[in-house]
Amino acid sequence: MQLSLKHCGIRSWRAEDAATLPQFANNRNISRNLRDTFPHPYTADHASSFIATALDQSPETHFAIEVDGLAVGGIGVRLRDDIERYVAELGYWLGEPFWGHGIATEAVTAISSFAIREYSLQRIEAWVFHWNPASARVLEKAGYRWEATLRRSAVKEGQVIDRMLYALLPEIPQDTLTGTKASR
Ligand SMILES: CC(C)(COP(=O)(O)OP(=O)(O)OC[C@H]1O[C@@H](n2cnc3c(N)ncnc32)[C@H](O)[C@@H]1OP(=O)(O)O)[C@@H](O)C(=O)NCCC(=O)NCCS
């Protein structure tokens, strides 16, 4: 997979990204805003094992954000199943030296369109810790809408926290929702 955007690219992970990934991922300013599955400290072993898992996925749902030929961040979705099989959860992070240039907004916008099309989604959700207004702003700029604040809905670094729930819904004719396309 490869998307060429104005400020960055989004592409499949490569095994060789493991060597350089920790220099961007090993940062508490990043890990404190993500699920605990994103480790801190972040080592080359973590990078190798994450990339191997990402490359083993079918369909592929986790991608690198590339700037100047280097993987400097990650973006992807978790596909839900059962009654939520048309829903996915978005996640993303970017190396701190690249913050503040519109890269995440561009990447979130592009991956959202890609994911809606590629996985036939009716809804993409993103969960933002209450202390992370930059991420909330990224989602708003990418067309996501705030739906709720889920009080005490997570624990991070020993603190029970509120999370904001954002969602993006593609414009889909109502008859498609009840017709055969929704029967999978
Ligand atoms: C959140 C993150 C992805 C943003 O990446 P980025 O490339 O800097 O984002 P953008 O430049 O596209 O947009 C950032 C926006 O947030 C705004 N912003 C930054 N800090 C802010 C703050 N403290 N309060 C309010 N807005 C803030 C910026 O001004 C910008 O908005 P603007 O264009 O209207 O000025 C990056 O900081 C990151 O990786 N953080 C750690 C991981 C993370 O939080 N992932 C998301 C989990 S939900």
134 lines ligand 1 (CB under 6 A): yes
Residue of minimum CA distance from atom 1 in ligand 1: 135
Closest atom of ligand 1 relative to the 30 alpha carbon: 41
80-85, long-range: CB < 8 A, 24+ apart: 85/184
Ligand 1 mean position, distance from CA 66 (Å): 17
In the predicted structure, residue 111 carries a pLDDT above the cut 70: yes
> What dotted CATH number matches 2-182?
3.40.630.30
Share of the chain above pLDDT 90, in %: 92
Q: Is the CB of 103 under 6 A from ligand 1?
A: yes
ω into 133 cis (within 30 of 0): no
**Torsions phi, psi for 94 (to 5 deg):** -140, 140
Looking at residue 177, its pLDDT comes to 60
| Averaged pLDDT for residues 127-154 | 98
Instruction: Give the number of the atom of ligand 1 that is nearest the alpha carbon of residue 128.
Output: 48
61 Cα to the center of ligand 1, angstroms: 22
Tell me, using a 6 A CB cutoff, whether residue 102 lines ligand 1: yes
Helix (H, G, I), strand (E, B) or coil at 176: helix
Q: Residue 34 CA: which ligand 1 atom is closest?
A: 47
Question: What is the per-residue pLDDT across 50-100, written as a single tens digit (0 to 9) for each?
Answer: 999 999 999 999 999 999 999 999 999 999 999 999 999 999 999 999 999
For the entire predicted model, the pTM comes to 0.95
3-state SS record for 111-145 = HHHHHHHHCCCCEEEEEEECCCHHHHHHHHHCCCE
Mean pLDDT over 129-145 rounds to 98
Of the candidates 49, 72, 60, the one whose C-alpha atom is nearest the C-alpha of residue 12 is 60
Shortest-distance Cα residue to atom 20 of ligand 1 = 134
* Mean pLDDT within 19-44: 98
Domain boundaries, the chain: 2-182
The CA distance from 93 to 173, in Å, is 33
Question: Between the CA of residue 55 and those of 73, 162, 171, 183, what are the distances in Å?
Answer: 16, 33, 31, 29
How much is the average pLDDT of 115-140?
A: 98
Residue 173: predicted pLDDT: 58
The vertex-71 CA angle with 68 and 74, nearest 5°, equals: 130
Tens digits of per-residue pLDDT, 112-124? Answer: 999 999 999 999 9
Q: Is 100 in the pocket of ligand 1 (CB under 6 A)?
A: yes
| Alpha helix segments (H runs only) across the chain | 22-25, 28-31, 44-56, 103-118, 133-141, 174-178
Residue 171's pLDDT band (boundaries 50, 70, 90)?
confident
pLDDT at 106: 98
Per-residue model confidence (pLDDT) at position 181: 55
| Helix (H/G/I), strand (E/B), else coil: 148 | strand
What band does 161 get if pLDDT is binned at 50, 70 and 90? very high
Q: How far is CA 116 from CA 93, 124, 139, in A?
A: 20, 8, 15
The SS3 assignment for 150 reads strand
Q: Is 128 near ligand 1, meaning CB less than 6 Å away?
A: yes
CA 173 / ligand 1 centre spacing (Å): 33
